Amino acid sequence: MKNNKRIYLSSPHMSGNEQKYIQDAFETNWIAPLGPNVDAFEEELASYVGMKGAAAVSSGTAAIHLALRLLDVKKDDTVFCSSLTFIASANPIAYLGAKPVFIDSEPETWNMSPQALERALTDAVHSGNIPKAVIVVNLYGQSAKMDEILTLCNRYGVPVIEDAAESLGSFYKGKASGTFGRFGIYSFNGNKIITTSGGGMLVSDDVEALAKARFLATQAQDPAPHYQHSNVGYNYRMSNILAGVGRAQLEVLENRVEARRAVFDRYYHELVSISGITFMPELENTYSNRWLTACTIDKERTGISVQELIEILSEENIEARPVWKPLHMQPLFADADFYAHSESENVSEQLFQTGICLPSGSNMNEEDLSRVINSIRNSLKVEV
Ligand X SMILES: *Cc1c(COP(=O)(O)O)cnc(C)c1O
Half-sphere exposure of 145 (CA within 13 A, CB side): 19
Give CA–CA dist 351/366, Å, rounded: 29
Give me the least distance between CB of 324 and ligand X, in Å please.
8
Give me the least distance between CB of 75 and ligand X, in Å please.
22
Q: State which of residues 85, 204, 296, 360 lies at the interface with ligand X (CB under 6 A).
A: 85
Give me the least distance between CB of 186 and ligand X, in Å please.
8
Q: Kind of pairing, strands 183-187 and 277-279?
A: unpaired
Q: Does 336 bind ligand X (CB under 6 A)?
A: no
Give me the least distance between CB of 57 and ligand X, in Å please.
9
Give me the least distance between CB of 285 and ligand X, in Å please.
22
Residue in 357, 86, 44, 83 with CA at minimum distance from that of residue 194: 44
Q: State which of residues 10, 37, 61, 348 lies at the interface with ligand X (CB under 6 A).
A: 61
Q: State which of residues 25, 88, 120, 242 lies at the interface with ligand X (CB under 6 A).
A: 88
Q: Does 35 bind ligand X (CB under 6 A)?
A: no
Give CA–CA dist 240/30, Å, rounded: 7
88/336 with CB nearer ligand X: 88
Contact 195, 244 (CB under 8 A): no
Give me the least distance between CB of 166 and ligand X, in Å please.
5
Size, binding site for ligand X by CB under 6 A: 14
Amino acid of residue 194: I
Residue nearest ligand X (C-beta atom): 60
Give me the least distance between CB of 326 and ligand X, in Å please.
13
85/302 with CB nearer ligand X: 85
Give me the least distance between CB of 102 and ligand X, in Å please.
14
92/380 with CB nearer ligand X: 92
Give me the least distance between CB of 244 and ligand X, in Å please.
18
Q: Which residues within the stretch 141-170 sit at the binding site for ligand X (CB under 6 A)?
A: 163, 165-166
Alpha-helical (H) ranges within the chain are 18-27, 36-49, 60-70, 91-95, 114-126, 146-155, 207-216, 240-251, 253-271, 299-302, 306-315, 347-354, 366-379
Contact 46, 52 (CB under 8 A): yes
Q: Which residues within the stretch 171-200 sit at the binding site for ligand X (CB under 6 A)?
A: 187, 189, 200
Backbone angles phi, psi at 187, to 5 degrees: -120, 140
64/124 with CB nearer ligand X: 64
Stretch that binds ligand X, among 32-40, 80-88, 210-218, 270-278 (CB under 6 A): 80-88
For residues 137-166, one letter each, b for 16 or more C-beta atoms within 10 angstroms of the residue's C-beta and e for the rest, the string is bbbbbbbbbbebbbebbeeeebbbbbbbbb
Q: Does 89 bind ligand X (CB under 6 A)?
A: yes
The DSSP call for residue 298 is -
Give CA–CA dist 245/338, Å, rounded: 39
51/57 with CB nearer ligand X: 57
Question: What HEC string does 200-246 produce?
Answer: EEEEECCHHHHHHHHHHCECCCCCCCCCCCCCCCCECECCHHHHHHH
Q: Does 111 bind ligand X (CB under 6 A)?
A: no
Q: Does 137 bind ligand X (CB under 6 A)?
A: yes
106/163 with CB nearer ligand X: 163
Binding site for ligand X (CB under 6 A): 59-61, 85-86, 88-89, 137, 163, 165-166, 187, 189, 200
